[in-house]
Amino acid sequence: MKPPQFHGGLDPLKVEAWVLSIEKLFEVFPCLETQKIFYDKYFPQCVHDRKVSEFMELKQNSMTIAEYEAKFTELARFAPHVVDTDYKKARHFEGGLRDDILEKVNVLKMKTYIEVLDQTTTLEANIARHAKSTID
């Protein structure tokens, strides 16, 4: 089997996507550790550390819930220790929400990430519908 070639240059996110696809191959085919140095060359520790910081400081701000969730998911893989349980993932997601959403969601004390995501999506739609009705 011929593994996929990497054509992403020095873009760390393209490196990460390629590496994830290659790691699946590593699970199936034996590979020496010395053959896995690609990641260290193209995704240095300083870039990884920056992504961890970006995740830790991530805030929803003007993003929609869908945009925030996509960014949250993208960056969470760099700090798995922060979201290693569903409860911790839910709390961290809540912590980055805008105040107008957070104040309505955190009183519900939801335990799972999917519950928080579902409720925030619904809440965002309700806020948008209410804002539209006050304009009309």
Q: Any idea where the domains of the chain sit in the sequence?
A: 1-43, 58-135
61 Ramachandran zone, left/alpha/beta (phi>0; psi -120 to 50):
left
Q: Which residue, among 87, 90, 86, has the nearest Cα to 116 in the 3D structure?
A: 90
Structure confidence by residue, pLDDT tens digits, 23-47: 777 777 766 665 557 667 777 888 8
Side-chain half-sphere CA neighbours of 92 within 13 A: 22
End-to-end CA gap in the chain: 61
Q: Residue 13's CB: how many other CB atoms inside 10 A?
A: 12
Are the C-beta atoms of 35 and 21 separated by less than 8 Å? Answer: no
Share of the chain above pLDDT 90, in %: 54
CA 96 to chain CA centroid, Å, is: 12
Structure confidence by residue, pLDDT tens digits, 100-112: 999 999 898 899 9
